[in-house]
A and B are shown apart, each in its own frame.
Chain A
Amino acid sequence: MIKVDQLRISFGTHEVVRGVSFDVPRGGSFGIVGESGSGKSTVLRAMAGLNEDWSGRIAFDGNSAPLKRPPVFFRQVQMVFQDPFGSLHPRQTVDRILSELLLVHTLPDIEKRIKQALSDVALPQTVRFRYPHQLSGGQRQRVAIARALIAEPQILLLDEPTSALDVSVQAEILNLLADLRQARNLTYVLVSHNLAVIAHLCPQLGVMLNGEMVEQLSTDDLRAGRTKHAHTADLRTLSINLEEPA
């Protein structure tokens, strides 16, 4: 479903992603873990079409994506951002935020789709005409997910979707993402610095370090400690040490 081959991204003369390749099957879920500055979010933004300074190949469903994406591309691929406080327009109601994609693509039944989108992410219809600042962090992230899903895309790119949320809200959002994927056969690429979050949602993951994907392995191998690269082993040890209460 997704094929990324030898992806290179530079900011000016500084190359931040240096030849990253991975595949994700239809309905699959691929995690990218790494520290800040490892280039993991940059990969995701290039896949979404937010960055046009890349080389290599990014293909969705067998079709290579051009540098500048045609509007129809965004009905197939959508993205959810890290910070639910920053990813919703501060002066627009939830209704307006959700309707934008439908208006751009002149899709029918806007009314019905918005109601459906809200109920899909388990938000009450009463939030429809509220402003983002009147919602809690978890509710905002649900709105962001509803916005991404409103035109029924097949691929969802998730950039640290829970790292700005409280742990209890994180659990709800992760469950929601898991349910949605199953119900709609969505394909996910999830970027996070939290190994436990990746392991929870993705059976397959890649570890990024300094712009390179130094290792790809299955979550089962990760759990069992069958790691090849030292950085993966470090991240694993750390995650295990910190997740158990003292």
Chain B
Amino acid sequence: MIQTSFRNWALDETPASRSQANWGRRYRIWLSLKSNPLAMIGLGIILLFALLSLFAPLIAPYDPSLQNLGNRLARPSAGHWFGTDELGRDILSRILFGGRVTLGMVVSVVAVVAPIGLAVGCVAGYMGGVVDSALMRITDVFLAFPRLILALAFVAALKPGVESAILAIALTAWPPYARLARAETMTIRNTDYVAAYRLTGASRWRIMLRHIAPLCVPSLIVRTTLDMSSIIITAASLGFLGMGAQAPSPEWGAMIATAKRFIFEQWWVATIPGIAIFMVSLAFNFLGDGLRDVLDPKQN
């Protein structure tokens, strides 16, 4: 009942207020996303992992750091669905709690990277000239380093840990966002509607912030979701190399790292976190592809 009345309200061809028009646009985007099965599978997996991580303390059968040396490297069983690791800790619990660390890192990285990339790209693209050259050369410097190497160097210079890993990944991840936002801005800045806004006497900052940046956001969102998997993998790699989350913390990459010694005899210890990384990465890719189809500004 409420659902149908929301539907009718949102899809009204002649909205009567600002918020109705906005909700109408959002609802249409949602409807077209909903019709894409792969994107919905991706979204479902992401939501599932997010909920599982969020409610890990309630769901997890064991304390993730509870050691039971008498039950080391146990096979998956009714008591331990995913088995136990080299210190007899329950892998399922560690995966659930590890989701908090790994997904938390990814979200923090994106929260830092996307706004920085957007700001740098918009300013460079709209201002042009010296500002553009300066900002883009800085971007090039960061782009020139291989991602993992720069992150490694950065973490090594600070002290290994989750926070420095986030900073390091953010530092290496923003340049492509800036490039993307700049390219979008350069096509937008010469359009007639931007010219029309210049004719209101609005300042350059106002035009960038209110009229250009919002148009760059959809492609950045798409880029972000497609980039999520590589951020997860970088985070996991840092963990694997001992530069990310530190030992007792159940970060997925770190879990694989410590399990590498038993990978042939006790396959589950490394495989389970591997599957978790694989599923989340794939899910973000599906969602990203779906969002690209829906949000592409050239389509509507």
- Give yes or no for direct A-B contact (beta carbon below 8 Å): yes
B199 touches A104 (CB 8 A): no
Q: How far is the CB of A167 from chain B (nearest CB, A)?
A: 22
Segment at the B interface, from A5-13, A85-93, A170-178, A236-244:
A85-93
Q: Which residue of A lies closest to B197 (CB)?
A: A100
* Contact in complex: B199, A48 (CB < 8 Å): yes
A78 on interface, CB distance cutoff 8 Å: yes
Interface residues of B in 1-53 (CB under 8 A from A): 13-18, 20-21, 25
Q: Which of B17, B193, B199 contacts A88 (CB 8 A)?
A: B193
Q: Say yes or no for B211: interface residue by CB 8 A criterion.
A: yes
**Residues of chain B lying within 8 A (CB to CB) of residue A226:** none
How many chain A residues have a CB neighbour from B under 8 Å?
A: 39
When the two chains form the complex, which single residue of A69, A133, A134, A144 contacts B196, counting CB atoms closer than 8 Å? A144
Q: Is the interface of B mostly helix, strand, loop or mixed?
A: helix
In the complex, residue of chain B having the shortest beta-carbon distance to the beta carbon of A72:
B201
Interface residue? A130 (CB, 8 A): yes
B18 to chain A, nearest CB (A): 6
Contact between B21 and A50 (Cβ–Cβ < 8 Å)?
no
Is B206 an interface position by the 8 A CB rule?
Answer: yes
* 17 A-B interface contacts by CB (under 8 A): A48-B199, A50-B198, A69-B201, A79-B195, A86-B191, A86-B193, A87-B191, A87-B196, A89-B193, A90-B193, A90-B215, A93-B18, A93-B21, A101-B201, A105-B201, A129-B21, A130-B15
Given A88-B196, A91-B297; 19 other pairs, CB 8 A cutoff? A49-B199, A70-B201, A71-B200, A71-B202, A72-B201, A73-B201, A74-B201, A79-B199, A81-B195, A87-B191, A90-B193, A90-B297, A92-B211, A93-B18, A129-B17, A129-B21, A130-B13, A130-B14, A131-B21
Binding site for B on A (CB under 8 A): 45, 48-50, 69-75, 78-79, 81-83, 86-93, 95-96, 100-101, 104-105, 126-127, 129-131, 133-134, 144, 147
- B interface residues (Cβ-Cβ under 8 A, vs A): 13-18, 20-21, 25, 191-193, 195-202, 206, 210-211, 214-215, 297, 300
